[in-house]
Every structure is written in structure tokens, then in C-alpha cells.
Structure 1
Amino acid sequence: MNLQTTYLGLKLRNPLVIGASPFCDNLTACRELAEAGVAAIVMHSFFEEQIGATPRELGGSADGLVEGREQLSELFPHYEDYRLDSEQYLRQLERLRKLVDIPIIGSLNGSHMGNWVGQVQRMEDAGAAAIELNPYQLPTDPSRPADDIEREIVELVRTVAAAVNIPVSVKLSPFHTSLAHFASTLAANGAAGVVLFNQFYQPDIDIDALEAVTQLRLSHSSDLLLRLRWLSILSPQFSGSLACSGGVHTTQDLVKALLAGADVVQVVSALLRYGTGHVASLLKGLEAWMSEHEFYSVDRVRGQLNLRKCADPAVHERAHYLKVLQSWQV
């Protein structure tokens, strides 16, 4: 079986990539993952807050939400609390590049233009094969129109892409009004690909302590459905690479993402649950499925069930919506 694929112009031995996660902090785990067969590793994000951004830079009108900027700054981790500071991050990237013979992808997380963008050049110098840019933000200001927010992200992508000679992908939120248009705009402004989707960690409420609580929630296979929808919509018309991130736990999940049009599939939660040995299980399962269905290369699998042959994807999606609603009988 030929499992090779191309992502962001990088020739990969298979479509299984380790997504941004704490795995990159553990050299032993990364060596095990590479030996098990993963094709690339995305380092966990380096955040804009790690290079001295102020609360005003982070939140604009945030001063009006709490009593004083000092209180707001306490909501963020202190510089020394980050797992890897700037220099440690770059040194770890260099170590990983020398340790394994697969591409190491640097990751930047930020939503505002600032001096932290210069970190991307240092990642390139340290040996990053590509950059994954995560423009994470949750717009809460009712006076700020969507166009302004997307324009700022596009400018950020253009700046980062122009600063380096390695490809840049963008990890997207699924909540843009016209996701297909926005993805195409990012590609026109330097993005070599997009990652679908960013994981949003939702706060809960403790009704006894009367306070909001946050916790890390690993993904489940059910999270894959949203990714499949947009992979199938984007893959026939998007000029760049597509990565599926979130919800891939089984061989079936991996195959579904490829059939919908993913170039690569990022896995994290499944490996945190089942260990690094799960990589071999996923790849063996993929080969077995391909053999059973007489697909002898990943290229033949990719996009088989996307909406390429659909004259009007919007009508197609609405028809499915109506069909599902009518299927429930009481």
C-alpha cells in the first residue's frame, strides 16, 4: 500500500500527524511516535502572551470589563509558568529536528499583530519545516463587525507568511459566516493550507461554588462530523492543503476524514487515551481497509466522498438537513 501524501508541499510517508500537544515536550515519546510511523509532529503553540503582551493589547477594551488592568493580567499564566519559554521552545524544536527524521511543524497562537510575530522567523531558523498559525480569539465586543475580525486575521496571516520561506497553515474556527470564502481569502494571502478545526474549551458553571470552571476535554469520534462536513465542502474548491484536527480515534475515523478530502489527519486525544502504540493500530487498520476496498494509494482514497460532483453543495446540504428532520417519527 502506498500511504504517502503531500501536505503544505511536504512529502509525508503517510497522512497521520501528531497535532499541537504536550507530546513535543517529551523526547522519548516523540521518538516512539516517529518509530511507530507518524509522518510529522506539530509542536504545541507558542502564545503571543509569552512575549510581554499587555492586557490592552490582548483585549482592546478589556479594561472596562474588570477593575483595572492588573486584575486582567492575573487571568493569564505568568511568563515563567509556560511549559517552554521562547528560548526553550526553539531549543526543543532543534532537538526534535535532530532526533527524528520526520518534519517538525512549529505552532504560533495569537490574535493581534505584535512583536511576537517575529518568533516565526526564529522557528524557521531552528529548523521548523512549516508553521501552524492559530489565530484563536472569541469576539465578544458587539460593536466590532465580523469583517474587521476577519480582516485582522488575514493581515496576520499575510504578515507571518511573508516573514518566512516555509509554508504556513492556519488553524480555523468553524464559526465564520462564510467559511469557504474565508479559507480562499487566506490562501490568496499566503496560507498554504488550513486546519479544520480549532478545539474550543467551553467553561462550565459550578452551581455550589457559584463560579465558572474550565477543564481540558479530550475529543471524541462524534466531534469528527463537523470536520467531515467542511472537508467535503472545501476539498473540491480549496487550492491549499487540508488537515483534519479533532475527533479521529479509530481507523474508521481516519478513513472517513480521507474520504471527505483531508490531506492529513492530526491525532492527539486518541494517543493520550490509548498511548503511542495506537499509531501502529491506526496505520495497520488503514492499510487493511484500503486492501479490502482495492485502494492502493491514499491519493485514490482522498476526496472520494466529497462534494466535487455536486452541482450546488448548499442545496445538497439543505436537502440532507430536511431529510434528517423528516426521518424522526413520533
Structure 2
Amino acid sequence: MDLSTRYLGLTLTCPLVASASPLALDVGNIRKMEDFGAGAVVLPSIFQEDIENEIDEMERLGNEGNSEALSYFPAGLTENVGPQNYLDLIRRARAAVDIPVIASLNGTTPAGWIDYARQIEQAGAHALELNVYYLPTDLVSSGAEVESRYVEILTEVKKAVSLPVAMKLSPYFSSPGHMIQTLDTAGADGVVLFNRFYQPDIDLEELTLLRDLKLSTRGEIRLPLLWIAALSGKLKGSIAASSGVQTAAEVIKYLFVGADVVMTTSALMRHGVEYLKVLKDGLVADLTAREAGSVAEIRGGLSRSAVSDIAAYDRVNYIRILRGGLHAAQ
């Protein structure tokens, strides 16, 4: 069975990718991910504000001459503030596994995006995922300004590094398809669809905001499924499917609509990194049952451009679904 695929110009032995999560902070886990079938691993995001806050705090303590406060930090920490620990993780992961190691970066300023991207490249990452986590809740930025920000970040990073760059995107653009094509034209080597933004909840007993992040469920597959199906065959770059992968069935669905790779974090957080083998075995079993000899044989088979029932992806199907639901209720 040929499970190989291409992503960001890299050859992967399997389309399953362990996406960014705390699990990949441990090189032992990264080794297990490779052993259990991952074709690549995305390291957790490095956040510019975390680095700079850490540096600012160390500088403040040093400027105040507060040697007692500094003594509470582990020995050698002052040499490791900034991105050094993350860069070391890249190096150690590269040395530990043969699969591609993809770094993830969340910046806040143009200089930060560029500087950290260069350091990530120098540390040896195979590729870089730009996690542009930006919610314009100030109600001031226009849609055009938000989109321009994404394009500018991509353009500047691409000028600064030579490694492949993927854009991890949310679905909240006014025209996601057009935005993704714009980024593709601007030089994105791939897109990850979709990022799950943090959304607060409210504790009614304490009347406080809940700062938690819920793991995805399989019902969340439908939105990325729709857009990947629409974009399949229309981009120069790669497409990574993300969100809602709990079983091999979601992996296969994503491949059928045209994804080059399928990413998962929630399933591994729930079941452990060994669950990658369950997903891989399920993929192999499904391909065998379909008498397919490779992933390539099914990829894109149910994309929007490949099916005769295009209405299934468009508005007319909305009407049919509503009518069908009404009849079922009666």
C-alpha cells in the first residue's frame, strides 16, 4: 500500500500529520509519533509575546539588582530566555526522527515574524507554519485591512527565509476561497484549514470568563470539508486538513475531497500518540476494501470539480436539506 504524499514540497510516507500540541514538546513523544505512523510532526507554536515577556521580566529583575529574585530561576535560565529552548527543540527533534519537523510561529510584529522565522530556519526546521491568530475584536479593522495583514506577513516571511511556508487560517474571512487563493498567489506553499480560535465561555456561578480550549469533535469536519472540496485542484500549494479528526473515517473523507495531508491533535490528546497507529491501520483497511493501491487513487475523488452533483456543495442543496429535514420531522 502506497501511503506517500507530498506536502509543502516535502515527501511524506503517510498523509497523517501530528499537528501542533504540547505532546510535541517531548522528543520521546515525537519519536513515538514517527513509530506509530505520522508522516510529519508540527511543533507547538512559539509565541512572540511569551518570549518578549520572559525577556522583559529577566531584564527588569536584573536592572533592579534583585539577585534574590533571580536565584529562584533555574541555573542557566538566563542563557535560555528568548527562543533558545524552542530552537533547541527543533534541533533535537531533527536529530531524533527521519520525518519532517515543521515549526509553528505566532508573531505580533513584522520584525518578530521575520526574526524568529530566520532563527527557525537556521535551527533546521523542514518547514514553517505561520499561525496568524488574529481576531479583530476592536471593531475598527475592516475586512480588507485584516486580509492585507495576512498577505503582508506571508510576503515578508517568504522574503526572509527559503524554507517552505504554510498559512494556518481561520474560516472567518468574508470570502475564504478568494483569500486562500490570494495567499496562494502571494507564495504560500500550503494552507492549513482550519485554525480553531480561542472562544471564551462564562462561569455563571463565579461570573468569570472561562479560559479553556475544548478539543474538537468529528462534527467540526464539515466546514473544512466544504472548502477543501472547493479549493482542490485550484491551488499551486498544498492543502492540509485540520479539525474534527477522531477516527480513520474523517481521514478518508478529507482525502476524498482533496487534502494532501490530514492533521490531528485532539484525537492524540484524548487517546495518546499511539492512536496514530489506529488511524493509519484504519486508512490502510479502507483503501484495501476499495481495492485502491495508494492514497493518490482516492485523493480528490469527491472534490467539487470531480463530482457531477455540484449542487451538493452549493446553495440549492441548502434548500433540499431543509425540505428533507421538514419531511423527516413530519
Deviations 1:42-62 (A, max 9, x none): 011011213438xxxxxxxxx
Seen in structure 2, the aligned counterparts of structure 1 residues 181 and 312 have a Cα distance that, compared at 3 Å, is farther
Give the share of equivalent positions with the same residue, in percent.
41
Residue 312 of structure 1 and its aligned partner are, at CA, apart by 10
Residue 117 of structure 1 and its aligned partner are, at CA, apart by 2.5
Match of 2:68 in 1: none
- Out of 287, 298, 302, the position equivalent to 2:299 is 302
Aligned counterparts, 1:1-330, within 5 A: 1-52=1-52, 85-309=82-306, 316-329=313-326, 330=330
Deviations 1:243-290 (A, max 9, x none): 011111101011001001110011111011111221111111111111
Seen in structure 2, the aligned counterparts of structure 1 residues 145 and 45 have a Cα distance that, compared at 3 Å, is same
Residue 84 of structure 1 and its aligned partner are, at CA, apart by 8.5
Residue 112 of structure 1 and its aligned partner are, at CA, apart by 3.9
Asked if 1 retains the 8 angstrom alpha-carbon contact of 2:258 and 2:299, the reply is: yes
TM-score normalised by the chain length of structure 2: 0.87
Match of 1:70 in 2: none
Q: Find the aligned partners of 1:252 and 1:101 in 2 and give their Cα distance.
A: 27
Q: Find the aligned partners of 1:157 and 1:308 in 2 and give their Cα distance.
A: 28
Residue 173 of structure 1 and its aligned partner are, at CA, apart by 0.6
Residue 32 of structure 1 and its aligned partner are, at CA, apart by 1.1
SS in 2 for 1:118: helix
Residue 180 of structure 1 and its aligned partner are, at CA, apart by 1.2
Q: Find the aligned partners of 1:89 and 1:170 in 2 and give their Cα distance.
A: 20
Asked if 1 retains the 8 angstrom alpha-carbon contact of 2:103 and 2:128, the reply is: yes
How large is the RMSD of aligned CA atoms in angstroms? Answer: 2.1
Runs of 4+ in structure 1 off by over 3 angstroms are: 309-316
Q: Find the aligned partners of 1:316 and 1:3 in 2 and give their Cα distance.
A: 28
Asked if 1 retains the 8 angstrom alpha-carbon contact of 2:194 and 2:224, the reply is: yes
Seen in structure 2, the aligned counterparts of structure 1 residues 19 and 318 have a Cα distance that, compared at 3 Å, is same
Q: Find the aligned partners of 2:257 and 2:49 in 1 and give their Cα distance.
A: 36
Counterpart amino acid of residue 132 in structure 2: P
Asked if 2 retains the 8 angstrom alpha-carbon contact of 1:107 and 1:133, the reply is: yes
Deviations 1:161-187 (A, max 9, x none): 111111100000101111111111111
Asked if 2 retains the 8 angstrom alpha-carbon contact of 1:111 and 1:137, the reply is: no
Residue 111 of structure 1 and its aligned partner are, at CA, apart by 4.8
Runs of at least 5 residues in structure 1 that lack an aligned partner in the other structure: 54-79
Asked if 1 retains the 8 angstrom alpha-carbon contact of 2:15 and 2:261, the reply is: yes
Asked if 2 retains the 8 angstrom alpha-carbon contact of 1:271 and 1:278, the reply is: yes
Asked if 1 retains the 8 angstrom alpha-carbon contact of 2:133 and 2:197, the reply is: no
Q: Find the aligned partners of 1:106 and 1:41 in 2 and give their Cα distance.
A: 9
Match of 1:77 in 2: none
Structure label with greater radius of gyration: 2
Runs of at least 5 residues in structure 2 that lack an aligned partner in the other structure: 54-76
Seen in structure 2, the aligned counterparts of structure 1 residues 202 and 36 have a Cα distance that, compared at 3 Å, is same
SS in 1 for 2:281: helix
